[in-house]
Amino acid sequence: MGIDHRINANIAAMGLTHPTPIQAQGIPAVVEGRDVLGLAQTGTGKTAAFGLPMLTRLIKFGKKPDPKTCRALILAPTRELATQIAAHVDAYAEGTPIRAFRVVGGASINVQIERMSRGVDVLIATPGRLMDLIERRAIDLSATTYLVLDEGDQMLDIGFIHTLRRIAKMLPRERQTLLFSATMPKLMSELADTYLTDPVKVAVNPPGKAADKIDQGVHFVPQGDKATLLAEYLAKHPGELSMVFGRTKHGCEKLSKLLEKWGFSVAAIHGNKSQGQRERALAAFRKGDTQVLVATDVAARGLDIPEVAHVYNYDLPNVPENYVHRIGRTARAGRDGRAVAFCAPAEIGELRAIERAMKSSIAVIGGEVPVGAPLAGRAPRGRGKPVDAAAHKRPSRRPSRRPRSQQAHG
């Protein structure tokens, strides 16, 4: 496929021997120098789809980058995703002259300034910290000929679009731009056209579709009973990794402390945690030392932890597309996974919006169905798989060690 032989040796040692559909269709276009808009489900290898051919092209430069410059810029919406991309790029480029560096908030900006003074081949950054460094004249983007927007729909969202426009003005007009995402709402697609020139569009799965190997189900439950219900689900699968998504930083912290009090091995990731705390929590979860990770949507995108067997949507997301990203943390690398959404009466609107975005209904596996909600046991219309209701049937009584008075509320 035109990949440098040293990079090929590295990915073979990592066990990557056959390209996924997004890689098979996207890599040749990147090698040719074309702009690419890549849409594929989470867990299908999008990082390798843009990383392997980009590194191959960078190797051909044959000389070191100038001080304060980078030849390729990869922008990611969260620190966790930027860290993971950097780890993959380092692994792909081992034994080559390519040097990559990650800049994110929460880390020493002085260390980042010192490192950038020597220049790097690949810079992986979150937009906020990148702008901090640009304003301090620590980074010069005039020689950056490759731009990658990972999780492109979020990078083009209102929270990032103004910063992205400022960054784009500092880049050369003659550049190669790659945009990859699992979801791409219509407005985001229109915005993407302003950054891509005659792009090759690679859509290996319908945008917004969840991976087929994820068994999905919704359990209707009063808001005040969610913590006890979650504890019952977790207790059924000891030794298996579970991610629990909440809506707010305060709610996630409160829930994690309650689960810890109830005897579960748990950690939390959200915006109020320091960078060091977030990295330690993720490292412990990857190793299996922590078996439950409670997180806001900062952990919903891109994180690749194949051993995650269960995803629980403790609170349904306000943005329907985020549901697909959340449950995409399971069923990775060809494995099976299970996703359960807890739906309180006040969240029926969010549930319907999610089903419209996915163009399929989610099977009801428990609880009393409110009026107007999907009927229990309704099969999805040809997309996704319902969760095994028998395997997830709620026990008739609460765990004795979890008194109702200690329940967390969303």
Residue 291 belongs to domain with CATH number: 3.40.50.300
| Mean pLDDT comparison of 226-235, 293-302, 316-325, 368-377, highest-scoring range | 226-235
Residue 254's contacts (CB-CB under 8 Å, 6 or more residues apart) are 408
Q: Please spell the DSSP secondary structure of 363-386, one letter per residue.
A: PEEESPPPTTSPPTTPPPSSSSEE
Residue 82's contacts (CB-CB under 8 Å, 6 or more residues apart) are 74, 76, 102, 104, 124, 125, 126
Per-residue pLDDT averaged across 194-201, rounded?
A: 91
In this model, does residue 203 exceed pLDDT 90? no
**pTM across the whole model:** 0.74
> In terms of domains, do 173 and 258 share one?
no
Q: Is residue 256 part of a domain?
A: yes
> Does 29 or 298 have the greater pLDDT score?
29
The rounded distance, in Å, linking the Cα atoms of 409 and 74 is 38
Please identify which residue in the block is written with the tokens 């220049």. Answer: 119
Q: Which domain holds residue 309?
A: 214-406
pLDDT of residue 391: 41
> In terms of domains, do 151 and 223 share one?
no
Per-residue pLDDT averaged across 267-277, rounded?
A: 91
pLDDT of residue 64: 92
> In terms of domains, do 334 and 373 share one?
yes
pLDDT digits (tens, 9 = 90+) for 321-348: 889 889 988 987 678 899 999 999 999 9
Residue 401's contacts (CB-CB under 8 Å, 6 or more residues apart) are 262, 263
pLDDT of residue 312: 98
Q: What is the mean pLDDT of the chain?
A: 87
> In terms of domains, do 181 and 252 share one?
no
> In terms of domains, do 70 and 129 share one?
yes
pLDDT of residue 332: 78
CB contact at 8 A, 83 and 97: no
3-state helix, strand, coil split of the chain in percent (to 5) is 40, 20, 45
Q: For the chain, what is the domain count?
A: 2
Name the domain boundary from 178, 203, 228. Answer: 203
> In terms of domains, do 194 and 223 share one?
no
> In terms of domains, do 220 and 188 share one?
no
The rounded distance, in Å, linking the Cα atoms of 343 and 219 is 6
Which residues are paired to 69 by β-bridges? Answer: 140
In this model, does residue 65 exceed pLDDT 50? yes
Radius of gyration, alpha carbons of the chain: 22
> In terms of domains, do 51 and 170 share one?
yes
pLDDT digits (tens, 9 = 90+) for 35-50: 999 988 777 789 999 9
> In terms of domains, do 174 and 148 share one?
yes
Q: Is residue 209 part of a domain?
A: no
Q: Is residue 107 part of a domain?
A: yes
Please identify which residue in the block is written with the tokens 């409670």. Answer: 294
Per-residue pLDDT averaged across 172-179, rounded?
A: 95
Name the domain boundary from 145, 171, 203. Answer: 203
pLDDT of residue 187: 65
Residue 165's contacts (CB-CB under 8 Å, 6 or more residues apart) are none
> In terms of domains, do 21 and 124 share one?
yes
> In terms of domains, do 235 and 307 share one?
yes
Q: Is residue 117 part of a domain?
A: yes
Per-residue pLDDT averaged across 70-80, rounded?
A: 94
Q: Is residue 208 part of a domain?
A: no
pLDDT digits (tens, 9 = 90+) for 384-400: 343 443 344 443 334 44
pLDDT of residue 390: 36
Name the domain boundary from 176, 203, 230. Answer: 203
> In terms of domains, do 162 and 257 share one?
no
Q: Is residue 322 part of a domain?
A: yes
